[in-house]
Amino acid sequence: MRLFDAILDANQRATDGHASPLIPDEFADALPLVALTCIDARLNHRLPEALGVPESHFIWLRNAGNIITSPMSSTLRSLAMACAVKGGKEILILGHSDCLVRKTGTLELLGKFDALGVPRAKLPENLQEFFGLFASERQNVLRAVEHVRASPLIGPRVPVHGALLDLATGRLEVLVNGYQVFATANAGMSPMTESVAEAARLSAPVPPASESPGNLSLAEIQIASRRIGESVTPLRLESTAMPAIPETTPAAAAQTAPAKPPPVPVDPVAALKRVVDLARHYRIIGGDGKQYGPVPATVLLRWINDGRVDAETSVKVDGTNAWVKLHELGEAISRLRGPRK
């Protein structure tokens, strides 16, 4: 039995009244465990007890709401350093029930900052993106796992797990088993595809059109065979052709000019994927005229791969005001970064 499976097994038996603590020496090759949790003080005694791992054998990272906003965020930097410098072997993103961050809406947050003497003008424009507000603890964990697996800072051999802790009972609920992701990868999928496949396996159906799509997440998206908002339309990227090689002999010149070789096909899906920046979030306008997002870059890549968006889909980098066609996205991101020095 591997470390995460043993933690789950010991936790379930302990919460059923049959305590059987984990023996760290049996999992020396998988420890220390790196755990990202919320700053909620109720976790202070609950976490070591729920994991069954001595505090000396796990690296405990915390932020408000165990939130990761992108594959290159400051939290990812800490996770990467915990593995590279402190020797962490596996990563666990652990959400918990009754999270106060989930219960705090944008207007309420503004009121709390105002009470602290921080006016709206001093806060970032996009509060939801900056503070990572979320509507579901499960959705938040799945999004965080997706960002970690998509990050170039985390080694491909590091399993990334996701779980939810019930504060009332101390019981763990597994959301993502990192070992199963590796099994998918060994079957031939790339690291990016493996994380998408795992999250898709756990995903819920897409909300109906009558619901607001403003906080659409990977956990709420179901792979479909149609474009977002309407039936799929073909990509409009043009293929390029190689120039014909002229004949050089007099005899050949006297003959009819040879036919040009067939054009070399361009993979339009691959071409579109090259304009996506993994470190950013995106919004799109579907065929129904509605906005969808913000979503991580990995979700946009999956939509492209599934044909749910095409080269003419209107898209913008979240946090900016400029809408561009998907095939123009690379130029838009270049303008965001400014001129090279």
Q: What does the block give as tokens for 51? A: 């994991």
Between CA 247 and CA 203 the distance in angstroms is 59
Q: In this structure, what are the phi and psi dihedrals at residue 249, rounded to the nearest 5 degrees?
A: -90, 150
Between CA 300 and CA 310 the distance in angstroms is 11
Closest listed residue to residue 144, CA positions, set 68, 230, 89, 86: 68
> Tell me, what DSSP letter sits at residue 283?
E
Q: What does the block give as tokens for 257? A: 């000019």
Residue 199: the pLDDT is 44
> Tell me, what DSSP letter sits at residue 28?
G
Q: What does the block give as tokens for 4? A: 């995460």
DSSP characters for 146-193?
A: HHHHH-TTS-TTS-EEEEEE-TTT--EEEEE-HHHHHHHHHTT--HHH
Residue 334: the pLDDT is 61
Between CA 145 and CA 141 the distance in angstroms is 6
Kindly list the structural domains of the chain, giving each domain's residue range(s) and its CATH number in brackets, ordered by start. 3-187 (3.40.1050.10), 203-233+265-341 (3.30.1490.40)
List, for the chain, all residue ranges whose pLDDT scores fall below the cut of 50. 189-225, 231-241, 340-341
Between CA 334 and CA 216 the distance in angstroms is 26
The pTM (predicted TM-score) of the whole model is: 0.54
Closest listed residue to residue 92, CA positions, set 137, 61, 48: 61
Residue 90: the pLDDT is 95
Bridging pattern class, strands 90-96 and 160-165: parallel
Between CA 109 and CA 128 the distance in angstroms is 10
